[in-house]
Amino acid sequence: MEHNAILEQENYFKPYQEKIDSLKNKPEVIEFDKLCYEIFESNKSGQAFIELIKERYLLNGLCSRGSNTYQIDVLWEAGFKDAFRMLINSVQSHKQRIKAETN
């Protein structure tokens, strides 16, 4: 049977896999993830810090709806929270890397 590109099912995960593969061995990404892991996961104080960040800033809203600058405050809050999410995601990324290397 001949290969028919029209009938072939599209691999929607392919662009994501290509992005994952391109980031996999970048030393600057690995170094940052490892540092975040060592600071926030391997260290009791770092774990406590991340838990406080989640409770105080990530779970709660920081803007009041009645404010005259609410639209600007919401944008600021999103950026503020994104920085902490990036640190948490870096910890998770390094955890996954450790798990993949041990399997």
Residue 52 sits at the vertex; the CA angle it makes with 49 and 54, to the nearest 5 degrees, is 110
Alpha helices in the chain (DSSP H): 14-24, 27-40, 44-53, 70-102
Distance (Å, whole) CA 61 – CA 64: 8
Q: What is the pLDDT of residues 58-99, one digit of tens each?
A: 988 888 888 899 999 999 999 999 999 999 999 999 999 888
Q: Is 96 exposed, middle or buried (0-12, 13-18, 19+ CB in 10 A)?
A: exposed
What pLDDT is attached to residue 38?
96
Q: What is the pLDDT of residues 7-48, one digit of tens each?
A: 788 888 888 788 777 776 778 888 999 999 999 999 999 999
Nearest to 60 by CA among 52, 68, 69, 72: 52
What pLDDT is attached to residue 30?
87
Which residue ranges make up each domain of the chain?
27-102
What pLDDT is attached to residue 65?
87
Residues 6 or more apart from 39 whose CB is under 8 A from it? Answer: 46
